[in-house]
Amino acid sequence: MALIAILPGDGIGPEVTAEARRVLEAIDPAFGFETEPVGGAAYLEYGQPLPPQALELAKRADAVLFGAVGDPQFDALARPFRPEAAILGLRKELGLFANLRPAKLFPGLEDASALKREVAESIDLVIVRELTGDVYFGEKGQRTTADGEREGYDLMSYTEGEVRRIARVGFETAMTRGRKLCSVDKANVLETSQLWRDVVIGVAADFPEVELTHMYVDNAAMQLVRNPGAFDVIVTGNLFGDILSDQASMCAGSIGMLPSAALNGSGKGMYEPIHGSAPDIAGEAKANPCAAILSAAMLLRHSLGRGDDADRIEAAVADALRDGARTADLGGSLSTGAMGDAILSKLG
């Protein structure tokens, strides 16, 4: 039976992954689970954010459910010891280059969106974010210039191979949906983006049924709130995808609603809400567990070949929301656990 690694992390990570685990247990009591600390929790226990046993578990498991990492108390540590090094290390070590971040508005959440109802209703898109390259993983550091000023630097780069493989995921994702792909870059300024655009155009030849467009990232940020319904699939680099997905979440009602799948093409995947550890509400049972629960649905669909069960979970979330179940971020007062209960009661 499938082994699911649970890496709860920090802050609200353990709170929301607990609800996702309850849902997975309800789907199939035979699932096996193993848990390891990562992030700040692992730093406190083992002196490092991604201890070898956590990485080993992630490699051994059939799929990984990740919570969130990070806390201000660790922000002064050297970068390899910061909690965020856990998630970046897992993505790199597992080769999880393709990050799917679907954003859609569940019926009933129109008033939770930051957008007008008729604009919010239209959002149903997937951001395909490259996850193991870009400025995130380039040479970085701080140095002193000749005239004695401190200078920080992070090298942005993409190889054509890196762009080609994420572009293919973008086109393939578009083929399963509305067959429209918008590649988002900053080719008017960045050479990295010019190469990105050239390579995406080359890959398009293999997908003649997909309508390809290009958009600069600043315009994309504007169009996402002007008319999100115009997008079907967005393919973009690591940094732009990070920013645009948080923005898309507020069009869809809350950052607590958006799940994600990080994939490497082998079936192995790591599944996590797009949100962080939310230190401002951690420990108060206020976190919305929907993003984690919907991430568990993506886990079933993409790593365990159980698309029907994924559909059941997504339908249960939709039913609970339709009935008015709401955590505070959605304008309600349910606790994290009560929201989990509401979803579980709809699983049937």
Ligand X SMILES: CC(C)[C@H](C(=O)O)[C@@H](O)C(=O)O
Nearer to Mg ion, 17 or 260 (CB): 260
10 noted as active-site residue: no
276 annotated as a binding-site residue: yes
185 sits near ligand X (criterion: CB under 6 A): no
C-alpha separations of 6 from 9, 13, 37 in Å: 9, 10, 9
Which DSSP state fits 327? B
Does 120 belong to an annotated binding site? no
Residue from 34, 62, 84, 110 touching ligand X (CB under 6 A): that is: 84
Q: For 168-193, b where at least 16 C-beta lie within 10 A, e where not — what string?
A: bbbbbbbeeeeebbbbbbbbeebebb
Cα dihedral 278, 283, 289, 295, rounded to 10, equals 60
Residue type, position 46, single letter: Y
242 is catalytic: yes
292 labeled part of a ligand binding site: no
Q: What are the beta bridge partners of residue 129? A: 99, 236
Tell me how far apart the alpha carbons of residues 328 and 69 are, in angstroms, rounded to a whole number: 21
Q: Which of 132, 109, 135 is nearest to 120 (CA)?
A: 109
Check binding of 68 to ligand NAD (CB under 6 A): yes
82 is known to lie in a ligand binding site: no
Rule CB under 5 A: is residue 130 a binding residue for Mg ion?
no
Closest to 108 in 3D by CA, of 341, 282, 321, 338: 321
CB 287, CB 16: distance < 8 Å: yes
Displacement of CA 96 from its chain's centroid (Å): 12
Query: Which residue's Cβ lies closest to Mg ion?
Result: 242
CB of 12 vs ligand NAD, minimal distance in Å: 6
Choosing from 70, 170, 237, 241, the residue that interacts with ligand NAD (CB under 6 A) is 70
What's the closest the beta carbon of residue 1 comes to ligand NAD, in angstroms?
A: 27
Would you please indicate which residues are annotated as catalytic (active-site) residues?
A: 136, 186, 218, 242, 246
Sequence ranges of the binding site: 91, 101, 129, 218, 242, 246, 276-288
Sequence ranges of the binding site for NAD(+): 276-288
Which residues of the shown chain bind ligand NAD in the complex (CB under 6 A)? 12, 16, 68-71, 84, 87, 255-256, 272, 275-281, 287-288, 291, 329
Which residues of the shown chain bind ligand X in the complex (CB under 6 A)? 70, 84, 87-88, 242, 274, 276
Sequence ranges of the binding site for substrate: 91, 101, 129, 218
